[in-house]
Amino acid sequence: MIKFFKNFYQNFREYIVLIILLLISLSFLPLNKNQSIQKIKTFAFGNFAALNSIISDIQNIFSNEDEINELRKLNAELMLQLNKLREHGIENNELRELINYTDSSAVNLFPARIISTLVTKIQGNFVINKGESDSIKVGMPVVDNYGLAGIVVNTSGQFSLVRSLQNMNFKVAVRNQLTNVDGILSWDGNNLIIANIPTTHEMNIGDRIVSSDFSTLFPPSIPIGVVQKKEETISGVLSNIVVKPFVDLSKLKNVLVMDVIPSNQIDSLEMNLLIK
């Protein structure tokens, strides 16, 4: 061990002496009143303090996890509150559009709100918060400000069950508003389809589909959707027309019930076909 220190001293003797002399010199600096030395001391102290402050701030950022978590929690709460305000704003615009639709319609309309949705592969229904006590009757069409959403199939005192377009038992007579081609619209579990349209009949992508004059359940010309694509059948002489609905049922919250109900035997036959 002693031999190690001797070898170390022999190899680094000059450096050791230099360090000792520097330490002695630095120890005498505080006693020196020379103005130049004082400036050096002030400059060194200022830089040291600034560096130490930066290091301290960095340590606080990484070490104060509780404060960071509190800030994250506050940000999350603010985000949720902001999201609620956005939803209220969207709903307010939607209600304004419904009011405008009500004002411009010749048919009496009952505003209602969806309170429950029942959706499976074959069942696409929803429940609204208006019923018999609000003059809602079976067979009344249900729309929003974009177009047809469904039809009332059952009622109670305060609530009604609505069969939506996305129900495999829902069928409606429709018409191409531009070319006057008629057909029956139904839901196949994935898309709204107008089945078995002759390929010679004009059905073009983007054409608007509305309720037909042949349907006595719905007033004519209620907007339903647009032609999205044509699919030829195996025979090649018929086509299935895929329709994209105007109403986005996944986002639907507020609806309007049209004061239109079946009133004769033809209506009853069509209604029985629809609600079975």
Q: In a 3-state reduction of DSSP, which class is residue 206?
A: coil
CATH classification of the domain holding 167: 2.40.10.340
Residue 44 lies inside a defined structural domain of this protein: no
Residue 242 lies inside a defined structural domain of this protein: yes
Residue 36 lies inside a defined structural domain of this protein: no
Neighbours of 230 (CB within 10 A): 15
Give the pLDDT of residue 5: 64
- Tell me the pLDDT tens digit for each residue of 132-183: 999 999 999 998 888 899 999 999 989 999 999 999 888 999 999 888 899 9
Residue 263 sits at φ, ψ, to 5 deg, of -135, 0
Q: Is the pLDDT of residue 220 over 90?
A: no
24 or 157, which is more confident: 157
Q: What share of the chain is helix, strand, coil (3-state, %, to 5)?
A: 40, 30, 30
Which stretch of 70-74, 108-112, 233-237, 249-253 has the lowest confidence by average pLDDT? 70-74
Domain, as residue range, for 146: 109-275
Distances (CA, A) of 35 to 6, 14, 30, 38, 139: 43, 32, 12, 5, 101
Residues 6+ apart with CB under 8 A from 29: 37, 40, 41
Q: In a 3-state reduction of DSSP, which class is residue 239?
A: strand
Give the pLDDT of residue 35: 64
**How is residue 170 written in tokens?**
């829902």
User: What domain count does the chain have?
Assistant: 1
Mean pLDDT of 67-71: 60
Q: Is the pLDDT of residue 219 over 90?
A: no
Give the pLDDT of residue 136: 93
Separation between Cα atoms, residue 191 and residue 200, nearest integer Å: 23
Residue 144 region, left (φ>0) first, then alpha (ψ -120 to 50), else beta?
beta
Distances (CA, A) of 81 to 11, 68, 141, 252: 71, 20, 36, 22
Contact 175, 211 (CB under 8 A): yes
Give the pLDDT of residue 189: 87
Mean pLDDT of 32-51: 56
- Tell me the pLDDT tens digit for each residue of 72-108: 556 655 765 665 666 567 667 767 766 666 555 567 7
Mean pLDDT of the chain: 76
pTM equals: 0.60
What is the chain's alpha carbon radius of gyration, rounded to the nearest angstrom? 39
